[in-house]
Structure 1
Amino acid sequence: MLEGIVWERPWLAPYRERGQRVAAQLLRGSSVSEALNAQAPDLDLPLFVPQSELPEGSAYEAFIFDTGRVPTRDNLHDFFNGLIWLHHPGLKRRLNALQAAEIAAQGLGSQRGAVRDALTLFDENAALLQAPEPLLDALRQRDWQRLFMQLRPLWAQARLQLFGHALLEKLVRPRKPITAHVWVDGGARPDAKPFAPLPVLGVPGWWAGNEAPGFYADAAVFRPPRVL
């Protein structure tokens, strides 16, 4: 399960120390839930439990909210989900509460609905970005040359942290098209999916290949904005 994780990757820096401790316990034979619980004795966190504790037909998010337990499989996806819980418990609890509220109000149908879709996208694939306004504006406009080339020095003033656990899982095997969703507009409820796409390997300093001429000219990855 841990094969391929390179902890020296820049996007893993916030999770490196604790992630390596969890990984070490897995190598000694612990389950993912056991290894995560061992790292959180003093944190206000739900209890990580085996996936088998989730009753058949129960909604995952509602179960977490109602019981304070996170069903956890022994795989890479749930390993990274647990690391995010350890590092951002407040945000994870807020997302879970919003999901549970939507389930209580709308029930479980064949489709999640706009709000649950947006919450799930954030939980699985979001990145948190604090940056000078020119960078944020270029990102909103999908002006890739300005964002990554003309404004490249401004990235030294930016703080980017990957939040989505599915995103971290995909980046175990980095590929140029892997894209994060960055929250760029505030608001109490993310009904309109106010996210901007950010090709992660385009971030200056995060991938040696983006120093090469023409890296950002790949229109299959760095797509121009849609014409309405």
Structure 2
Amino acid sequence: MNLAAWPSPGGLFAPLSPLIEGIPFAPEPASLELLSARCDLRSAGGQRLSFVAPQGDGVDYETRIWVRGEVETRPGNWHDFFNALVWLSFPLSKSTLNACHVEAMAVPDARCGRGRDRDALTHFDECGVVVVSSDHSLLALLRGFQWKTLFWERRLDLGRTLRCFVFGHATYEQLLQPFRGLTAKAVLHEVSEDWLRAPLCEQLADVDRRLASEVAAGRHRDPRAFHPLPLLGLPGVTEANESPSYYDDAWQFRAGRTRRRV
């Protein structure tokens, strides 16, 4: 399947669009080779990044990236293919996540269990989304689980003043066939109106810098602190949400306890 021809629900594939438009096929290895040849990215360990088939030599996934710059990528696998695209789209953040994993693994007995910090980082790596808005009230509604107000009553404002940058590669895979209850783990940022008018490439670079800086500073280490974002509530993700009654689904649009701000 050619990903460039796949409909982008609610524009959620936008962060990958500069890459998707430049590849003729996916998720085959030749696409990654084509993309990799255009990039000169480095792992946090200083090695030139490359995407390789699983090696089966016993080297840990995160250690391999740090020491060799090799990201194991199963041929023909959408999950791994999206992981590679996220590496190319958010290289600072992915490198910082890798460095944090390697640092945590160096602690004595750390390999016996991943621990809360690595769990949180992995959750965001798989299912994270960065939500930015120039309207503080929209972010407040998201924090307060006011889903119908956010997604229906403020629908026009969402299109004008809020953007979602999907980071999690598992979420990208799931968006190929969106399903009821599909939820991402969000971190929120308030931005200016000028920021929202900037070219996509500048927005992506800024999101990448912000996220990498936060992770390096020790943030996003509590799995409970992320804000759930039911993606099928966003306009355009599913035709079903074009009716206000769609948001009466209490199983999908759940009330939640107050969470720490992220």
TM-score of the superposed pair, with normalisation by structure 1: 0.86
Query: CA 1:24 to 1:61, structure 2 compared with 1: closer, same or farther past 3 Å?
Result: same
Query: CA 1:116 to 1:23, structure 2 compared with 1: closer, same or farther past 3 Å?
Result: farther
Q: Are 1:182 and 2:183 matched, yes or no?
A: no
For structure 1, the 5+ residue unaligned runs are none
- What does residue 199 of structure 2 align with? none
One-letter amino acid matched to 2:66: F
From 169, 192, 197, the equivalent of 2:222 is 192
Give how far 1:166 is off: 0.3
Q: Are 1:205 and 2:201 matched, yes or no?
A: no
Give how far 1:210 is off: 1.0
Alpha-carbon separation, structure 1, partners of 2:136 and 2:67: 40
RCO (CA 8 Å, sep 6+): is it higher in 1 or 2?
Answer: 2
Contact map agreement 1:49 1:72 (CA 8 A) in 2: yes
Contact map agreement 2:152 2:244 (CA 8 A) in 1: no
From 92, 102, 119, the equivalent of 1:90 is 92
- What does residue 80 of structure 2 align with? 78
TM-score of the superposed pair, with normalisation by structure 2: 0.75
Give how far 1:161 is off: 1.3
Runs (4 or more) in structure 1 with deviation over 4 Å come to none
Give how far 1:25 is off: 6.5
Contact map agreement 1:184 1:195 (CA 8 A) in 2: no
Alpha-carbon separation, structure 2, partners of 1:158 and 1:139: 11
Instruction: Give % identity.
Output: 35
From 157, 165, 172, the equivalent of 2:169 is 165
Give how far 1:86 is off: 1.4
Give how far 1:85 is off: 1.1
| 1:112-191 mapped onto 2 (5 Å cutoff) | 112-131=114-133, 132-155=135-158, 156-184=160-188, 188-189=217-218, 190-191=220-221
One-letter amino acid matched to 1:49: V
State the number of aligned residues. Answer: 221
Q: Secondary structure at the match of 2:36?
A: coil
Q: State the Cα deviation string for residues 172-212 of structure 1 (Å, max 9, x = none).
A: 11112100110148672222232100011101233322111
- What does residue 104 of structure 2 align with? 102
For structure 2, the 5+ residue unaligned runs are 42-48, 190-213
Q: State the Cα deviation string for residues 50-71 of structure 1 (Å, max 9, x = none).
A: 112x522x32112111111111
